[in-house]
A and B are shown apart, each in its own frame.
Chain A
Amino acid sequence: MDQILGNIELLFEFPIVNLKIILDGIMIGALFALAAYGLALVWGVMNVKNLAQGDFVISGGYVSWWLVQHGFPALLGVPAAFVVMALLGGALSGTFIHAWCRSRAKLMIILSCASVLVFIFGVYFEENETFILGLSGDFFAAVSGIVLTVLLVINGGIYSLVISRVIERDLFTSLLATFGLAIMMAQILNLLFGSDTQSVDLGYPTLHFFDGFIDLPIAKLIGVGMAAVLAAGVIIFMKSSRMGQAIRATAQDARAARVLGIDTEKVYAFTFSLNSGICGAAGAIIVMVWLVQPFYGISYSIRAFVIVTAAGLGNLPGVIAAGLGIGVLEQYGAHVFGIGYQQAVAVLLLLVVLLYRLIQQRRNRQVLK
């Protein structure tokens, strides 16, 4: 108890500590907000409560980490993770191929895109002259092509076998089904990459302010900047593109959207893959500024749920505000109660938000009576 009071006193004695906590909180909160926005998308549009959200984030981190290990520039890891995770999440799923590739020409476009990707892989390996176990870049280009194909098959599996079957089902179903997915993903990552924590060092210096009270690694600034760019891109996409409009229409009323000629199956597949892409990019940023570990996923999932529950669906400014807010509150909690309570603070915030909404609703019900 004395320790807690002492920690609170410290906040008033040195106001600069507040600034440090708030900065840290905003930086981590920006990434929570990204993952939460993806969740708000799939929840709002498809009614899928994705408990595997955090594991998508972590997988994106591993994609980026793996690429960097093989000579890829670290900053390109973010878009690469976006693409790979979007593919994994269901872009080319069975339904998507069905809906999108009605003509053979479109299938050819996809195949050629895939081969371009493979070519880029090959060029990178040739330029860096990476010889691993005595094998040249060509070999790895071929391998990465195979890996890509396998990923596409797997993602087709995830979306068409699992996700497309829990849309519009009993609300509890998607929660449990994606929980099973989360367990599988975490364990597969563990088998592939081991249980050590991994991170990518960008090699940028750290800025110091106020006599070293505040450390600001440039890598973190870049990470937050990228998160902001991604968020802005998604907002513009949702506002102005045809697909964005179709997604919003489906979220409002799926049946009416179908009547008006929107292919909702395609919208669902696209939304899910967009969500996975956002998560993947968030993970790639996380691996640059913090670390990833196969079993960290659940903590990101919990925070995404806290944020979405607090902000409500389809409320983007609310999601960003809640994301930054939970980041800051969590840092304060860790400062005041000790670092061991950080997770507990996040979960207790979830309960507080749920109870607050409950009391609000109760009042509404009484008004109705």
Chain B
Amino acid sequence: MTRNKTILYAVIIAFTIIAPFAFPNYGTQLATLWLMIIVSLTWDMTGGQMGYNSLGNIFFYGTGMYVAALIAIGLTYDIGDYNSAAGGGIYEFTDAQYFGGLALGVIGAGVFCSLSAIVIGILVFGLRGPYFAIGTLGVAIAAGELVSNWNWVGGGQGIALPVYPGDLDQGKDFFYFLFAAVGVSAFLFAKWLYGTRFGAAINAIRDDEEKADAMGIHTLRYKLYTWAMAAFFVGMAGGISGFQLIHFEPLETAYQTINLGIFMVVCVLLGGKGTLWGPVVGAILFHLFKEITWNYLLGWQWVALGALIVVTVVYFQDGVLGWLMAKRPEWFGIRVEKKVAEQVE
């Protein structure tokens, strides 16, 4: 069992490293796939493991994008001047300035998003069920609207970042590996976290919050920390996305509530909520479906996507892993006593 797992992980790591060189035409697509994996994995931390279905995790993506860009620009130039020129071309970045800004920006974005998760969390974590979902959705939409009216950060036009210095193909690989690094660390972090007492505590919150409270678990603190961890990774992913896209604007790219904000939820449901591998599998399937419909069903792609969401949510809510778990419990190390199973039936 463990040997098989080791081989599996080795194969995945090898594929991760080889993929951009094996499929050079799909570099950007593969990077986006990692982005989807990161946001679904982190959505599952609160949604699947803790039972708090947030529709507003996209807030951290957009905020991360802005914070990273502003840090990178602010280290070298005046932000207001830079944005009012709207990428007018008079602002040059040296290699050191670019990579320094990127590194500090991405880490800063993660830290800032964690802090904002704690601040917003204090306000919204008292909400339960659908009210939490609507409230967090409201936070994301409001943030997008406010940022698009804030001229100091570029207003509705958004921010134009400097282009990757050097060969552009090499740049694609660079961003792919940045995303992959964040994705792998998010996965390993989640794998470790779910095995600790902390993971048991957030599962207890999902199963029955009142009882968890009564057992002495400080529920608000656990909820805040979990959301802050999720926000850290999403913020970093957002920051990298900003540099990858070069130019972004607030409503359609950064705070894209109805695109990525919902996609991450659908990915998790498709793969299997509350499992470690579910979000990863779901993200891969969803991304494949999305790219295939975008290529071959142009014009109807959104209809197909809406249909996928409806079908997944209504008919297939346990997801691929949930379905497999019911069909083949022995694969997951769940022993089913034959007699008991027969009696139940």
**Chain A residues at the B interface, C-beta cutoff of 8 Å:** 49, 161-162, 165-166, 170-173, 175-177, 179-188, 191, 298, 302, 305, 309, 338, 340-341, 343-344, 347-348, 350-351, 354-355, 358, 361-362
Contacts and interface: CB of A to CB of B under 8 A. Distances in A.
Per DSSP, are chain B's interface residues mostly helix, strand or loop, or mixed? helix
Contacts of B124: 354
B314 A165 contact: yes
A184 B130 contact: no
B139 A172 contact: no
Given A180-B307, A187-B302, A341-B149, A350 B313 contact: no
Nearest to B259: A183
A179 B309 contact: yes
Per DSSP, are chain A's interface residues mostly helix, strand or loop, or mixed? helix
Contact of B306 (A180, A298, A338, A358): A180
B310 A181 contact: yes
Interface string B253-270: 000001000100110010
Contacts of B156: 340
Nearest to B141: A347
B317 A173 contact: yes
B129 A172 contact: yes
Contacts, number: 111
Contact of B148 (A340, A347, A350): A340
Contacts of B309: 176-177, 179-180, 183
A270 to B, nearest CB: 21
B312 to A, nearest CB: 8
B166 interface: no
B146 A183 contact: no
Contacts of B305: 180, 183
Given A351-B135, A351-B142, A173 B314 contact: yes
From B124, B266, B313, residue with most partner A Cβ within 10 Å: B313
Contact of A176 (B145, B149, B313): B313
Contacts of A341: 145-146, 149
Contacts of B149: 338, 340-341, 344
A49 B130 contact: yes
A95 to B, nearest CB: 15
A3 B310 CA distance: 46
Contacts of B141: 302, 343, 347
B302 A171 contact: no
A163 to B, nearest CB: 9
Contacts of B103: none
Contacts of A186: 302
Nearest to B156: A340
Nearest to A361: B126
Interface size class of B (residues with CB under 8 A): 35 or more
A351 B258 CA distance: 18
Interface string B309-328: 11001110100000000000
A231 B133 CA distance: 29
Interface in B114-135: 123-124, 126-127, 129-131, 133-135
B146 A344 contact: yes
A186 B301 CA distance: 12
A86 B131 CA distance: 28
Nearest to B130: A171
Contact of A180 (B123, B135, B310, B317): B310
A183 B134 contact: no
Given A298-B258, A344-B142, A309 B310 contact: no
A366 to B, nearest CB: 12
Contacts of A355: 123
B310 A177 contact: yes
Contacts of A182: 306
From B141, B265, B307, residue with most partner A Cβ within 10 Å: B141
B57 interface: no
Nearest to B251: A343
Contacts of B134: 49, 175, 305, 309, 350, 354
Contact of A354 (B129, B131, B317): B131
